[in-house]
Amino acid sequence: MKPKLNHLFILMSIMLSFNSCKSPATKDNKSVAKDNFKYLLEQFADVKIIRYNVPDFDSLTLQQKELVYYLSEAALCGRDIIFDQNCKYNLLVRHTLEEIVNNYSGDKNADDYKKFMVYVKRVWFSNGIHHHYSNDKFIPEISKEYFAQLVKNAAKANFPIEKGETIDNFIARLTPILFDPTIAPKKISLDPSGDLIKQSATNFYDGVSEKEADAFYKKMKNPKDSTPISYGLNSKLVKENAKLVEKTYKIGGLYSPALEKIVYWLQKALAVAENDQQKNGIKTLISYYTTGDLKTWDEYNLIWVEDHSKVDFVNGFIEVYGDPLGKKATWESVVNYKNIEETKRTEIISQNAQWFEDNSPVDKRFKKKECKGVSAKVINVVQLGGDCYPSTPIGINLPNADWIRKEHGSKSVTMENITYAYDQAAIGNGFLDEFCYSKEEKELSEKYGFQAGNIHTDLHECLGHGSGQLLPGISSEAMKNYHSTLEESRADLFALYYIMDKKMVELGVLPNLDAAKAEYNGYIRNGLMTQLVRIELGKNIEESHMRNRQLIAKWCYEKGKAENVMELKVKNNKTYVVINDYDKLRKLFGQLLAEMQRIKSEGDFTAGKKIVEDYAVKVDPVLHKEVKTRYEKLKLTPYGGFINPVLKPVVKDGKITDVKIEYPEDYSAQMLYYSKNYSFLPIKN
């Protein structure tokens, strides 16, 4: 489970703080100016493309560099999988667009062509035709006629034309997929009034209704099984001859050509693994990809969670945010190595996990008696792949299986070279000037925002998700389509409650409680107001992390009204969020945390649904419009994604003698390069 860059508080704080995460040991207010590396590469539509630096890459040994190189190749080989999982049309559309880009012989300086390129870049960015965050299908800002002309003026193109199809038929087949807003309108729709599967364009089910899928997986489960596998995690559920069958993602099964390549590079990695634990893990992962057996996946996770090698990686079908039923996982990869200096901070937090659990405001029955195997580190990312590219998380906490987390613990990471790059790219963009009520609020954010944001991520990942326990017999899936929102709220609340605890200062993790104030300001400002820049006028909030943030901010706003804990103030016709009483706000966070844990532990679906529908979904249309207008004037983009570095092995006499790291600047070139060299799946899977 992981917060994406969209993590609101992070977004807020990162957008404008000047504090460095690179400062070692002493965390005190090191105001850092922009460094010399070029971070911000380009902006289009509502996104910006950022480059991240990989500090101290040359401090790795040759063996470690080689390992990172092989794992990075494996990370790139699954790119087609995520396109196909997001929607069955995506590979078809991407190949068609790229054929045009590579072969169009008309005027590439024409305005229409530029608009076409924005569409292409958006498809690359979202790994498909739906917005990566809002999940709505986006439509090209060119005419259908111009699209037809593009296709016809790419004479040498090798379009994915079907047998017997003319170019006109091909254009006629593609046009509605690109231009008709009623075809595959949403990647994921969580609207509870309809069939979640039928109204979602994700490609995890075919010809199956929500009811049928629910019944199918319910039958598999044994409520007495204390170590259940993650049923349905790595397969597509389809109806064949009126029978439901799972098409498993494995070698010889669905997505085989890509998985074979991934395994090829994992085999290479195996030979240079750092130690036996890691070797054993890679072996088991290969075995899982070969058999598709989810028991082997659990075995792999048990090994991985105890693997504390310097070089580490995520590679698999992992997060279930992309499935409206929360069962099927998208493919992703992150290759990284430990940032030893910054990890000292997260080690202190994880060593004190039991203290945090024992002292939380949660009912005793829902607390973990023993916090096992909580480990946390700060990492440098070297390569992003699949669902983590180009839009990436800023923290990860895995594995996801509840019983593994409870019995064996979890590994949690804060991706600090990513948050640092985001921070650097945003320096001086005017956001805080526009949305902070006072000079003091702005200064607090500049001074502590970045640091406090990272510590929030540490707490959210390392302690938040790992805290608490279910009552016996309660399923972790009891919250159904509300699960992600409620789970993210619980983790955020744990972080918010504790970041204002003097224990954080005593432990030396937080410089002082002013840093916590900066975090509270940013979180509430975002949850009540500024995150709305991401929502189209007239629409509700759909995305789980955004729902979670509004839920928390709005619930505390409503519950704190009588005591004026916070208020919306208007100055010069502009609305601002002002927190009047930080201690009382902290108490409210604690109360809500206790309630969220109760809902999860007791499996109280009715209460879970109600609190989400009451606080997390609906938007105040007047405030929404105001916030968007103010934001647009700043010419900022609310989303960011990253371009990967390139790893180049230096080969002498058939042996790798070094691995060089390069930092390209051209986003489109990287995408075209990936498509040329890492396209392994057929258009129809």
Binding residues for Zn ion, rule: CB under 5 A, are: 1, 488, 491
How far, in Å, are 2, 68, 83, 232, 481 from residue 74 at the CA level?
Answer: 21, 10, 16, 24, 32
CB of 1 or CB of 627, closer to Zn ion: 1
CB of 184 or CB of 379, closer to Zn ion: 379
82, 126 contact by CB (below 8 A): no
Under DSSP, is residue 227 helix (H, G, I), strand (E, B) or coil? coil
Minimal distance, residue 366 CB to Zn ion, in Å: 18
Minimal distance, residue 461 CB to Zn ion, in Å: 6
Q: CA dihedral in degrees (485, 489, 490, 491; nearest 10)?
A: 110
CB of 147 or CB of 494, closer to Zn ion: 494
State the Cα–Cα distance between residues 589 and 556, nearest whole angstrom: 7
Minimal distance, residue 2 CB to Zn ion, in Å: 6
CB of 319 or CB of 488, closer to Zn ion: 488
Q: ∠558-458-415 over CA atoms, to 5°?
A: 120
Minimal distance, residue 548 CB to Zn ion, in Å: 9
CB of 178 or CB of 463, closer to Zn ion: 463
CB of 64 or CB of 601, closer to Zn ion: 601
* DSSP one-letter code for 683: S
CB of 70 or CB of 494, closer to Zn ion: 494
Beta bridge partners of 566: 579
Minimal distance, residue 387 CB to Zn ion, in Å: 15
Which value, in Å, is the radius of gyration of the alpha carbons in the chain?
A: 24
Candidates 49, 12, 121, 142; CA nearest to 534 is 12
Minimal distance, residue 487 CB to Zn ion, in Å: 7
Burial category of 224 from C-beta neighbours within 10 Å (exposed 0-12, middle 13-18, buried 19 and up): exposed
Candidates 504, 425, 492, 498; CA nearest to 464 is 492
Q: Which helix (H) or strand (E) holds 291?
A: helix 276-291
Minimal distance, residue 180 CB to Zn ion, in Å: 35
Q: Return the structure tokens found at 124.
A: 């690359």
CB of 491 or CB of 588, closer to Zn ion: 491
Minimal distance, residue 490 CB to Zn ion, in Å: 9
Backbone phi and psi for residue 275, each to the nearest 5 degrees, phi listed first: -160, 175
Minimal distance, residue 431 CB to Zn ion, in Å: 24
Minimal distance, residue 320 CB to Zn ion, in Å: 13
- Residue showing tokens 């047998």: 163
Q: Return the structure tokens found at 324.
A: 């409206």
CB of 104 or CB of 321, closer to Zn ion: 321
State the Cα–Cα distance between residues 478 and 481, nearest whole angstrom: 9
Under DSSP, is residue 332 helix (H, G, I), strand (E, B) or coil? strand
CB of 1 or CB of 120, closer to Zn ion: 1
State the Cα–Cα distance between residues 490 and 4, nearest whole angstrom: 16
CB of 1 or CB of 647, closer to Zn ion: 1
Minimal distance, residue 492 CB to Zn ion, in Å: 8
Minimal distance, residue 3 CB to Zn ion, in Å: 5
Minimal distance, residue 318 CB to Zn ion, in Å: 13
Minimal distance, residue 460 CB to Zn ion, in Å: 6
Q: Return the structure tokens found at 513.
A: 């409680």
Q: How many CA atoms within 13 Å lie on the side-chain side of 58?
A: 3
CB of 20 or CB of 392, closer to Zn ion: 392
Minimal distance, residue 11 CB to Zn ion, in Å: 15
Minimal distance, residue 545 CB to Zn ion, in Å: 8
Q: In terms of DSSP H, where are the helices of 500-572?
A: 502-506, 513-528, 544-559
Neighbours of 644 (CB within 10 A): 24
Neighbours of 165 (CB within 10 A): 14
Strands (E), 405-528: 410-415
- Residue showing tokens 């960015």: 125
**Nearest residue relative to Zn ion (C-beta):** 1
Neighbours of 515 (CB within 10 A): 26
The one-letter amino acid code at 21 reads C
CB of 250 or CB of 377, closer to Zn ion: 377
State the Cα–Cα distance between residues 187 and 25, nearest whole angstrom: 44
* DSSP one-letter code for 462: I
Candidates 283, 297, 489; CA nearest to 398 is 297
Candidates 543, 420, 406; CA nearest to 465 is 406
Q: CA dihedral in degrees (442, 448, 450, 452; nearest 10)?
A: -120
The one-letter amino acid code at 402 reads D
Candidates 15, 139, 19, 8; CA nearest to 515 is 19
CB of 99 or CB of 458, closer to Zn ion: 458
Minimal distance, residue 7 CB to Zn ion, in Å: 8
CB of 6 or CB of 383, closer to Zn ion: 6
CB of 281 or CB of 399, closer to Zn ion: 399
CB of 446 or CB of 492, closer to Zn ion: 492
Burial category of 161 from C-beta neighbours within 10 Å (exposed 0-12, middle 13-18, buried 19 and up): middle
403, 39 contact by CB (below 8 A): no
Longest dimension (CA), the chain: 76
